[in-house]
Chain A
Amino acid sequence: MKTLKLHLFFLLLLLTGCSIDNYPAPDAQLFGTILDAETNEPVEQDIIRGSAIEYIEHGYESQTKQLMIFKNDGSYRNNLVFSNTYSIAPVRGNFVPVTPQDVQVNGATQLDFKVQPYIRVKDVKIEKVGTKVVASFKLQQTVINNVRKIGLYAHPEPTVGEPMRTALAEQEINAASDPNKTYQIELDQAANSNVLKTGSQYFFRVGAIIDAPESKFNYAKAVRLAL
């Protein structure tokens, strides 16, 4: 009898547990772009192992951190957000750390982040020279830290970056960059013929990483080249 009662109780609990709660479904969208505060240009990102967006929904004791990621072009979007106030900040990124801001998310809410990218990769030229892909570019760093390394990355997809490449050429720098210097990196197609096939198109992207805690690569836009 006791067991039956217990079973009945569980059944009751299950039924109540399954009833639809009276909270609204996620009805808001949050989107925007991470922008260079000085140039107003989007700050290029990585889709894997890249900068993240951390947000905490207000009104809960737990202060649970939720995460979003950026696309390569620095944009982000979440179409399933509960309308509420959130503390939001881009974190662990390729920019000077910022403090979270409190944002009211309601309906379609656009929130752009203005940041100071650690490095601006400028005047980029990527071209095929003989059997090599040659990238030349300048670096403008905005902090006093050393530039750790620079790299040229290749992948069949436009989401190419340091974490997502089939071929790469890198240079260790470990010094402050010279804003007047033109840096050059060569990627040898012949040496990578198994992944860089003649006649195919690939995306190439130049990146540089600053020597700072939890920093991520800064990039120029990816360029498509037919080999």
Chain B
Amino acid sequence: MKILNFLLLLPFLSLSCKAADDNAKPVDPKPVEEVKYDTTGVLFKSYKGLVMAGYQGWFTAEGDGAGRGWHHYQKGGKFEPGSSSIDFWPDVTDYPKTYNTAFKYANGETAKVYSPYDEESVDLHFKWMKEHDIDGVYMQRFVSEVKGESGKKHFNKVLANALKASKKYGRAISIMYDLSGSVSADMDFIVKDWEELQKLFALFDNKQNPTYLRHNGRPLVAIWGVGFNDGRKYTVSDIQKLVEKIKGPTKKASILLGVPYYWRTFGNDTENSPLLHTVIKNVDVVMPWAVGRYNSSSYTSVAGTHLPGDIAWCKTNNIDYAPLVFPGFSWGNLKNDKSLYNQIPRGKGEFLWKQIAGAKMSGAEALYVAMFDEVDEGTAIFKTKKEGETPLNGDGKFVGIEADLPADYYLWLTGQGAKWFHGATGYGAQKPDRAQ
């Protein structure tokens, strides 16, 4: 009986060490003629050398005509003291069109907000970008929002406003599809929506939209949210197909992929799928999501070797790289947790500048700033109210920018970074002094 047991074990002792079978080599696709664009008059022929921000544009106000209530301001259907999803309050002093809210300042004055559904407000944002030398924005297009009629109407209106303003102020503009909340079946929707946008706005028309961002000779479109291991209901393989469809056989567009911070090493936030690298090698620019991955004190130890490692990888694989920088992070109201106010402090711009300088000194050639107008997560660089001057918010509060800074300080500081990336001298690890 014991012998039988041993005999049963024998097969395990003779496990084969044979190498895996060679994979069949893929057949090269037939070469097709690539589309050629007339780039006469096109203002931004490459993302290289540019500092661009993300533009959420998702806010609406009661009465702005979008019919979406207090979208992205409200929480639980209400936008009133104690019930709001924003941590920073937009400073609407310069806006021609504003909306009264249920919030009041300590002096009893009604607090107001803006809506990007209004052309005037978006115009003002682009005016600020020009004033401060910020090159432009990626217009966020949330798949989960634009799938519905009301969302589509809103984001198309904001995009129309932005295209007009970008032309007026000579700022770069590009579309970024945010895939958060998407499912595999949405890939076809994105392809269809993207085709629709090109027709509706004549996006690639060099005369009508000379400010639409080009890269590697083609209009650039961004796809954000690829390779995250946070349980998304679409796969890297879905994105691979999406990239192929968007490019098409004639290579119609260049593509920027928004990926997790640890995309290169498959660590922490990244799905362990080698296919991710295959997909990345097939696009034009990679932009890793750095928000929340470090703070001011951990920045150098995290990014110090990570950033140049990313850049070296991208050089080897002949793709471009745009690191993300953000001024700080705060989502106490969104998460209903007061301990999350100022979760990643701004330090009067020290944190933002550390990242700008770190990126530049590590060899980065372009920047993505998260974000222009994101007040829910408190990463906005546009004008917001200062500490001590924010509206009252029940037993909670609104986080303001540092009281001794001017309202446009983060626009200015981002602009200083842009000047450095444009080739201006005199910048270094030390945050520039505005008085100079």
Contacts and interface: CB of A to CB of B under 8 A. Distances in A.
A99 B311 CA distance: 12
Interface in A55-95: 58-60, 84-85
B2 interface: yes
In the A-B complex, the 8 residue pairs with the smallest Cβ-Cβ separation, listed nearest first, are A59-B19, A145-B304, A96-B308, A97-B309, A212-B305, A144-B358, A59-B20, A96-B309
How many of chain A's residues touch chain B, expressed as a range? 20 to 34
A163 B301 CA distance: 24
B110 interface: no
A136 to B, nearest CB: 25
A148 to B, nearest CB: 12
B189 interface: no
A9 B3 contact: yes
B183 interface: no
B312 A116 contact: yes
A103 interface: no
B6 interface: yes
A170 B17 CA distance: 50
B296 to A, nearest CB: 13
Contacts of B20: 58-59
Interface in A177-210: none
Interface string B292-310: 0000000011011111110
Interface in B285-328: 300-301, 303-309, 312-313
B301 A144 contact: no
Nearest to B9: A13
Contacts, number: 67
Contacts of A2: 2
A100 B19 CA distance: 19
A102 to B, nearest CB: 11
Given A6-B3, A176-B429, A58 B19 contact: yes
Contact of B300 (A17, A59, A118, A144): A144
A98 B264 CA distance: 9
B278 interface: no
B3 A142 contact: no
Given A5-B3, A59-B19, A60-B17, A99 B305 contact: no
B362 interface: yes
A85 B19 CA distance: 9
Contacts of A215: 305
A96 B303 CA distance: 11
Nearest to B299: A144
B301 A143 contact: no
A188 B304 CA distance: 35
Contact of B312 (A17, A98, A145, A146): A98
A84 B20 CA distance: 11
B246 interface: no
A144 B362 contact: yes
Contact of A143 (B2, B18, B304): B304
A118 B6 CA distance: 56
A144 B304 contact: yes
Interface in B47-70: none
B139 interface: no
Given A98-B313, A215-B305, 18 more contacts: A2-B2, A9-B6, A58-B19, A59-B20, A60-B19, A96-B305, A96-B309, A96-B312, A97-B306, A98-B309, A142-B308, A143-B362, A144-B304, A144-B307, A145-B301, A212-B301, A212-B305, A213-B305
A5 B307 CA distance: 66
Nearest to A59: B19
Contacts of A13: 6
Contact of A59 (B3, B18, B307, B309): B18
Interface in B351-392: 357-358, 361-362
B265 interface: yes
A37 interface: yes
Interface in B1-53: 2-3, 6, 13, 17-20
Contacts of B313: 98-99
Contacts of A58: 19-20
Interface string A135-149: 000000011111000
B426 to A, nearest CB: 16
Contacts of B13: 17
Interface string A34-45: 000100000000
Contacts of B19: 58-60, 84-85
13 contacts: A9-B3, A58-B20, A59-B20, A84-B19, A96-B308, A98-B309, A98-B312, A99-B264, A144-B307, A144-B361, A211-B304, A212-B304, A213-B305
Given A60-B17, A98-B312, A212-B305, A144 B2 contact: no
A145 B300 contact: yes
B308 A23 contact: no
Nearest to A17: B13
A58 B17 CA distance: 11
Contacts of B303: 144
Interface in A98-117: 98-99, 115-116
Nearest to B304: A145
B308 A6 contact: no
Contacts of A176: 429
B2 A6 contact: yes
B300 to A, nearest CB: 6
B6 to A, nearest CB: 6
B12 to A, nearest CB: 13
B187 to A, nearest CB: 28
Nearest to B428: A176
Nearest to A61: B15
Contacts of B361: 144
Given A58-B19, A84-B19, A144-B357, A116 B308 contact: yes
B318 to A, nearest CB: 14
A1 to B, nearest CB: 12
